[in-house]
Amino acid sequence: MARKHVSRKRRRPRKARVRSPEQNHPPPRIERRAETDTDLPAPEVVLQREPDFGIVGVGASAGGLEAFQELLSHLPHNLPLAFVLVPHLDPHHASGLVEILGRVTPLKVVEVADGMAAQVGQVAVIPPNATLTIADGILRVTQRRSDRDHYRPIDHFLRSLAEDAGSRAIGVVLSGGMSDGALGVAAIKAAGGVTFVQDPDSAKHDSMPRSAIASGAVDFVLPPAGIARELARIGVHPYVGRDGDDRQRTEAPDEERALQGILRMLRGDGGIDFAQYRQTTLRRRIARRMR
């Protein structure tokens, strides 16, 4: 059987299309994804600077009035330190501490108001029914939450002082019951500061001094008058007072070599490597022991 011839139309040749460079190389595909916290710009990190003077936090409870009076009455008027007193006060009655203590010391005695700055030559006293902290040298007052709370205002303040002032923090625990202050002096010692405790034999109530001593974080155990004399001595020390601002101080080459020698001996004999510790804190601690 003969096949039918089917005619097919010839297709015209297609013209070559000229592609632009952009078409030959299309831009990369951009994938969109949900925005997360990691996409946000990182917050600016602000390095906290230690104050250029020592700040002394002093805590007391039962028997503290007499201890405060003895301490302040033996302080010189020109001591380059700021003082913050944190006694256990009756939350329902006004305190007469400012007037009483103002009679025994040449230093200015004031009650703390929220936002007040710690100042050299000033004794700031916590108000009743309050909790006190310090940040960037500014005292912050908040209301005590409840009478039934486990109230530890001395620990609360000294811990914040350690965080804020670092090696320029000085903690003092005087007469009182229970154990408030023990954790605070431990925090100050860990930050490179100096800690004092009233000699229990000179305290009307020795529970607080003995608890602080048991923490193992106390540098000096003295009666209040002895604490005042030691504060007067270290208050003008170049690593505590204003004249020893380590941001402006340059170390002599011999001193630097001596420090490195001490660190090598500690590493070799004791197996403790202090190389990563803050150098200014190490220098302060060594200088205080040598003076």
DSSP letters spanning 205-271: S-HHHHHHHHTT--SEEE-HHHHHHHHHHHTTSTTTSGGG-TTT----HHHHHHHHHHHHHIIIII-
Task: Evaluate whether 208 touches 181 at the Cβ level (below 8 Å).
Answer: yes
The DSSP secondary-structure symbol of 101 reads H
Q: Is the entire prediction scored with pTM above 0.85?
A: no
- What residue numbers bound the domain in which 60 lies? 54-234
Tokens of 146: 């409840």
Q: Do residues 189 and 78 share a domain?
A: yes
Q: Please tell me whether residues 225 and 196 are part of one structural domain.
A: yes
The residues, any chain, with a CB within 8 Å of residue 60's CB and separated by 6 or more, are: 67, 68, 85, 86, 87, 88, 154, 173, 174, 175, 176, 208
Helix (H) or strand (E) holding 171: strand 169-173
Same domain, 92 and 204: yes
> Is there a catalytic annotation at residue 77?
no
pLDDT of amino acid 288:
60
Our CA dihedral for 262, 268, 272, 277, rounded to 10 degrees, sits at 40
pLDDT tens for each residue of the chain, 291 residues long: 555 555 555 666 565 555 555 555 555 554 544 444 444 444 443 334 556 899 999 999 999 999 999 999 999 999 999 999 999 998 888 889 999 999 999 999 999 999 999 999 999 999 999 999 999 999 999 998 765 557 899 999 999 999 999 989 999 999 999 999 999 999 999 998 999 999 999 999 999 999 999 999 999 999 999 999 999 999 886 556 554 444 444 445 666 777 777 878 887 787 777 777 766 667 766 766 665
92 is annotated as an active-site residue: no
Predicted confidence at residue 8, as pLDDT, reads: 57
Same domain, 69 and 145: yes
Active-site residue identified among 52, 155, 164, 180? 180
pLDDT score recorded for residue 282: 73
281, 192 Cβ separation under 8 angstroms: yes
Asked if residue 134 is part of any domain, the answer here is: yes
Q: Look at the chain and report how many structural domains it folds into.
A: 2
What pLDDT was estimated at residue 182?
97
Considering 234, 261, 282, which residue would you say is the last residue of a domain?
234
3-class DSSP state of 68: helix
- Reference 81, options 119, 125, 51; nearest CA is 119
Point out the catalytic residue in the list 52, 74, 88, 206.
88
> The domain that contains 58 carries what CATH number?
3.40.50.180
Q: Is residue 135 domain-shared with residue 257, that is, in the same domain?
A: no
- Structural domain includes residue 126: yes
180 catalytically annotated? yes
